[in-house]
Amino acid sequence: MNQQNFCLQPFTPISSFDLQIHGNIDREHNHLTINYLFQGDLEKIDIPTPADIPTRKHELWKITCWEFFLGIKDKPSYWEFNLSPTGDWNVYRFDDYRRGMQEETAITSLPFILRHHSDSLELTLELDLDKFIAPELNLDVGITTVVQDINGVTTYWALKHSGEEADFHLRDSFTIELMGIGI
């Protein structure tokens, strides 16, 4: 199945505000589309102001940031995607669990659409995977989000939390499988 809905869960229960993070992901003809939707007490979340000119930046995970991870099925390497409400972004490639981190140079821009609604915040990204992943390869996907509230408290959201601490890089947490194109 290449189109799947998801609902993220916080690593630790949150009582200071109400938030739901859900969406869907789809891979068709080696193009990936991912949609995130924040719903709830958005006024209690620190949502950075959009940048005039979005750029590739490091350490976006230190503030509210959408993230997802793509790994080739049965291979140790994977990619981490960071998308900030500012419009800033980055993509890192890893050789194995937290090893060999480097910027993915095959991706030179990562434009996404951010929509503010009265009761929600929505992000949509469309990505051509042909630049760095062969179309016939099956993918394991981890979908995550870092949320910082207006008091500076950070929470970590994921499809599944596999470790004793919040750790988005654990491959056991990449629970969505997107099939490649049969060649």
Give the dihedral sign, CA 146/149/153/159: negative
pLDDT, mean over the chain: 94
Which structure tokens are listed for 161? 């939390």
- What residues contact 116, with CB distance under 8 A and at least 6 apart? none
Q: Where are the domains of the chain?
A: 3-11+32-51+63-178
* pLDDT tens-digit readout, 48-57: 999 889 999 9
183: confidence class by pLDDT, cuts 50, 70, 90: low
pTM value? 0.95
Number of H-type helices and E-type strands within the chain = 0, 12
* pLDDT tens-digit readout, 25-39: 999 999 999 999 999
Highest mean pLDDT of the ranges 3-17, 45-59, 133-147 = 133-147
| pLDDT for res 121 | 95
